[in-house]
A and B are shown apart, each in its own frame.
Chain A
Amino acid sequence: MKRTEAPPRYPVYVPKVSRIWWLRTGPFRRFAAREITSMFAAIFSVGMLLFLFALSRGRAAYDGFLHWLKLPWVIALSAVILGAVLYHTATWFRLTTRIIVIRLGGRTVPTVVIAAGLVAALLGASALVAYFHIWF
């Protein structure tokens, strides 16, 4: 089914979009925060790569890296990265409950259960990593 093509006689007005649209409303600002904190997850991954790289270069390099990690500004940076990554994770857990639909026996699993499952998995993985880091 086609619409007849006839150019409008009177000009339509096309409003312009602001470059900083993402600062305009609360929801848009939170969206921007969610997207920007993903960069911090990337930064953390780079940090992990540096860690492995240092490890591969022998004891001296490894110790140097650990010493660098204990510098005050690096600790501060790490705290910021941790906060950002946790915020990002929280938003992603919320989003996942909207996307994943699990049907068991004709009824859908409630979103709370899915969210709880994700949090449990996070805590479980963190516990495992902590065990290896601290006690092993």
Chain B
Amino acid sequence: MRAAIAAAEVSDTLSIALISKVYPMRSHTVSAEGGAGAAFGDDDSPDLHAFDTIRGSDYLADQDAVEAFVTEAPREITQLEHWGCPWSREPDGHMAVRAFGGMSVNRTVFAADKTGFHLLHTLFQTSLKYDSIVRHDEFFVTSLLNEDGRCAGVAAVDLRDSEVRCFVAKAVILCTGGLGRIFSFTTNASINTGDGMALAYRAGVPLKDMEFVQYHPTGLPGTGILMTEASRGEGGYLINKEGQRFLEEYIPSKMELGPRDILSRAIMQEIEKGRAFEGPYGEYVHLDVRHLGEKLIDEKLPFVRELVRKFVGIDPLHEPIPVRPVVHYMMGGIDTDMMGRTPLPGLYSAGETACVSMNGANRLGSNSLSECLVFGARVGSQAARDALDATAPAQEPLAQLAEAEQDRLVDGYLEKEGGRERIAPIRRELQTAMERGAGVFRTEESLKEAVEEVRGLKDRYRDLAISDRDRAFNTELVAALELGNMLDVAETVVASGLERRESRGSHTRRDARDRDDERYLKHTLASSTPDGPKIEYRDVTITRWPPAERKY
């Protein structure tokens, strides 16, 4: 939506189609809680924000992208404020900031603990102002339409009647979020199935750094519901079975405000050492906010309290919260440059779907919401400017491609004969395979096994049959298409992970515990071939921060 608004502001002669498989206020940004980081304060500077981000990324981030990001982030936050976002304030009326993991100074702007919710609704409501933005709600994009080596539109299924519609466009921007649902235990919503990444991948665009899956340290066991980093930012503790703040042993300088990958590893190690609690949904440690007091909790963490009361049945004011590491964010994504352009002309991407790379091997908390704003705006205006100069694509060949898509859907799903596999078992086995093979700690064997399992599941997917053959709002068709996308991106995750024989950021190999800058100070590029993903490497862009040991 940020990109759509940016594009609309470039010129009102452009017609902008906002296509989404769900209504815009359901996007998973709505669940983000903690805040958006930006270098505002007098004790802060963009350079410091850049350093924190680059160090947090284990030096895999492209530093020119980070520099652009930290420079524009404060402006974007203020822009949202002008559009009505209810940022929490200091008594004098200025926007307040809180502490967050991996940040040297407090620079996370927040709206209580529902920052993503307020951000998304502000963007959605503001976007209603622009007549040039036309929404196509509940349209599922099944394929990019490429013509003459250029992306010239998309084919999307209208869920109301399962008809494929052809959208001809001079620029296509993919912002479809992450892929958490390829794992069984994730904070992500049901809709996060890597659709945009799969679309680009199948169209020949490489996916970058897919092995870097962020495990957020504090998710509720069972449901996977996120317990925001803000609960630690406001002073919460992580305690093991023995009642100790165990992070003393792992990252004493930062304790609970260390970067997420280090904390997740620490919790998993506590579990392996037998110092964690046991529960029906696996082992866990405690997140203790009791000492923060009712006033602070109700003012700064009200949503956390509500969630814990509802889904765990305890009051975090009186009892500690059970938490364990949970899949949360994908650092990798579609290969783009700093303006969101992909190697395929006419195709752009921004947000979690893209990999610029700004987050490298590990993302700092609160950088993602700012990332959406900064790169959403950059990519929107870049794509709009390019579109103004571009020639309109020829409609006829694209219409034929869309017709072919319609046939593919009908023959492959809606009227398919035979087929013995069902969606739920394949999906469950994929999720289990990913949990096992691409967890917090990985090995050569676990990844090799996962590669084999995913390949096997892709074969079984070809034999899939759905039981719902209706055309009116067929959600089983959607689930089947999502599963296809999930399998495609999953194979890039495990293949990239297998080839990276080092540990960096959130990719930790038990059989290669050290960081290897000589061989691997590079981005992984996974491209689609008939035999599976082909892995190549590209150097990281270093400007002013030479890679050093990641010390806290």
Contacts and interface: CB of A to CB of B under 8 A. Distances in A.
Interface in B90-143: 127-131, 133-137
Contact of B161 (A1, A3, A8): A8
State the 4 A-B residue pairs at the shortest beta-carbon distance, nearest first.
A10-B472, A9-B161, A1-B133, A1-B128
A124 B323 CA distance: 58
A18 interface: no
Size band of the interface chain A makes with B: under 10
B136 A4 contact: yes
Contact of B160 (A1, A2, A9): A9
B131 A3 contact: no
Interface string B140-162: 00000000000000000010110
Interface string A1-29: 11110101110000000000000000000
Contact of A2 (B131, B163, B472): B131
Contacts of B131: 1-2
B135 to A, nearest CB: 6
B127 A1 contact: yes
A1 B135 CA distance: 7
Contacts of B137: 3
A1 B133 CA distance: 5
A4 B129 CA distance: 16
B399 to A, nearest CB: 17
A39 B23 CA distance: 45
B129 A10 contact: no
B471 interface: yes
Contacts of B160: 6, 8-10
9 contacts: A1-B127, A1-B133, A1-B135, A3-B134, A3-B136, A4-B136, A6-B160, A9-B472, A10-B161
Given A10-B161, A10-B471, A1 B129 contact: yes
Contacts of A2: 131, 134-135
Chain A binding surface SS class: loop
A56 B128 CA distance: 63
A3 B130 CA distance: 12
A2 B471 CA distance: 25
B380 to A, nearest CB: 15
Interface of A: 1-4, 6, 8-10
A22 B158 CA distance: 38
A8 B134 CA distance: 18
Contacts of A1: 18, 127-131, 133-135
A9 B473 CA distance: 11
Q: Which of A1, A6, A9, A10 has the most B CB atoms < 10 Å from its CB?
A: A1
A1 B124 CA distance: 10
Given A2-B131, A3-B134, 14 more contacts: A1-B129, A1-B131, A2-B135, A3-B135, A3-B137, A4-B134, A4-B135, A4-B136, A6-B158, A6-B160, A8-B160, A9-B161, A9-B163, A10-B161
A6 B134 CA distance: 13
Nearest to B162: A9
Given A1-B127, A1-B128, A1-B129, A9 B134 contact: no
Contacts of A8: 160-161
A3 to B, nearest CB: 6
Contacts of A4: 134-136
A3 B24 CA distance: 12
A6 B163 CA distance: 12
A4 B472 CA distance: 18
